[in-house]
Structure 1
Amino acid sequence: MTRLAHDRYCDEIADQVGRLRAVVASGADLSAMVPTCPDWSLEYLVRHMGGALRWVELLVRTRAQEEIPEDKVELAHGPEAKGDPAALDAWLAETGEMVLAALREAGPDTKVWAWAGIHTSGFWARRMTHELTVHRADATLAAGLPYDVAPEVAADAIDEWLEIIEFVQRTMPHDAATELRGPGRSIHLHATDTTPEVNAEWVIELGEEGVTWRRGHEKATVALRGRLTDVLLAFYRRLPLDSPRLEVLGERELLEFWLERATFD
């Protein structure tokens, strides 16, 4: 599957950081709990996301060839002051500038350690794009704000999630994802607002040898239909299947089985 260009991922990281900063600056209650991340407050979520970006910045800038411990990352947990939106925003702004400088300077093909078998700086540009895409959705839910994402980014986020599932099945035999193996079952994700430029339909087959998938429109055991943004959120377990914005056709139990086991994030 064709991925987005490296510069496009970098541009999206810049945009997503800006939108996350807007949530912080919106007057939202930083102590509010995040409904889609149990036990996380909005402030904790922002600090978690910024810390991940700073960790990636250090990996890419130093061309790390092995994992770097979190305690080696400067200001990984955010500013010392708690409950201070101005301090949190300034830290997040600096964080965004740092990681973008490292990713743009490295380009997509610089060799850098990564956990999913793709040891390049380009892996991290894509991974942070979608980490931000999903966690910004968490933040907007906690703040009661609207959420949207560019169609090509949403579609690529689903592609990446499916690739991660394939990787986990190959390399982590005891993970819950291995339970997704089985004969003759399939899932169809159908974005109702798909366009010729973004073919946002997927067929996922749960075979004896593991999960396989492709973009396309085919009859399946169960289908999930809705706007692309809503399909993305449901697939990442950020929108319940009984939402009026979604339609489930066929064996709903299979889709629930999938969502229960594709839990690594």
Structure 2
Amino acid sequence: MDYSVALVEENRLFGDLIRRADPALPVPTCPEWTIQQLFRHVGRGDRWAAQIVAEQRDAPLDPRTVGGGKPPADPEQAIEWLHEGARLLIDAVGTTGPSTPVWTFTGPRPAAWWIRRRLHEATVHRADAALALGLPYELSPALAADGISEWLDIIGQSRGDGPAPLDAGSTLHLHASEDTLDSAGEWSISLDDRAIIWDNSHSKAGAAVRGRAVDILLALTRRLSAANADVEILGDHSIWDTWLERTGF
């Protein structure tokens, strides 16, 4: 998958949704946010990541200090500001070098890590906008599956002080219904010394989640309940409930 191409396209689709939305419209899946705040979050986030990469930072950057972090007042210029942020990130990775290590919230990673991260930030926040507007939301099975994998990577790489997403001995299996995904549409998740580990294998688990990849992604990131996402939960429902309680996008 070409993450740069996908980021530009998702950024465009997000902008198209925002262009026709009331800036003051509440976003139920991002409590206390409006469409305008969601828009600023995505647009400034791309520029934040671009500056981290361009400066080859080894420490966090305060988002409030990001250059050009405030969108123009004119709606059309604001959309161009959004699109420019994605291009700045792609250009920064190209200049710095995709393999150059830079700061991320999961530890030092290759600069190209940020393109994939910002891509999936855009896919989920586009869902936020679509749900707020009452519009349908779709994502290709391959991109949705990659979003699930990327999210599991982040959870596995992030060790906090709180409880692990799974209790000791619990296992979780996600299974996308699209035949075109093959093994990329299955995720077996378990716990190893408080860290989440996963692979693309088929396994019998304490709880199994089945549905389209895009629907699993929306349920996994708590954008829709399993029932509203048309996702089936088999086995011990408490394992899934615990996972959701202890993870957040």
Same fold, judged at TM 0.5 (above):
yes
Q: CA deviation at 1:244?
A: 6.0
Q: CA deviation at 1:202?
A: 1.0
Q: CA deviation at 1:197?
A: 5.5
Aligned residue for 1:16? Answer: 10
Aligned residue for 1:193? Answer: 178
TM-score where L is the length of structure 2: 0.91
1: distance between equivalents of 2:194 and 2:227? Answer: 31
1:134 aligned to 124, 127, 131, which one? 124
1:175 maps onto 2:172 in alignment: no
1: distance between equivalents of 2:99 and 2:115? Answer: 11
1:147 aligned to 134, 137, 145, which one? 137
Q: Residue 17 of structure 1 contacts residue 132 of structure 1 at CA under 8 Å; is this kept in 2? A: yes
Cα–Cα, structure 1 residues 179 and 103, in superposed 2: closer, same or farther, change >3 Å? closer
1:29 aligned to 22, 31, 54, which one? 22
Q: Residue 24 of structure 1 contacts residue 88 of structure 1 at CA under 8 Å; is this kept in 2? A: no
2:94 aligned to 93, 101, 104, which one? 104
1:158 maps onto 2:144 in alignment: no
1: distance between equivalents of 2:42 and 2:207? Answer: 33
Q: CA deviation at 1:103?
A: 2.5
**1:180-232, CA deviations, whole angstroms, 9 ceiling, x for partnerless residues?**
3412x211111111425662011112355432211122221111111110011
Aligned residue for 2:189? Answer: 204
Identity %: 37
Bigger shift: residues 85-94 or 43-52? 85-94
Cα–Cα, structure 1 residues 260 and 122, in superposed 2: closer, same or farther, change >3 Å? same
Q: Residue 173 of structure 2 contacts residue 209 of structure 2 at CA under 8 Å; is this kept in 1? A: yes
Give runs of aligned pairs for residues 8-87 of structure 1, distance below 5 A.
8-25=2-19, 27-79=20-72, 81=73, 85-87=75-77
2: distance between equivalents of 1:224 and 1:51? Answer: 34
1: distance between equivalents of 2:137 and 2:191? Answer: 31
1: distance between equivalents of 2:16 and 2:204? Answer: 41
TM-score where L is the length of structure 1: 0.86
Q: Residue 47 of structure 2 contacts residue 88 of structure 2 at CA under 8 Å; is this kept in 1? A: yes
Give the letter aligned to residue 225 of structure 2.
P
Ranges in structure 1 where 5+ consecutive residues have no aligned partner: none
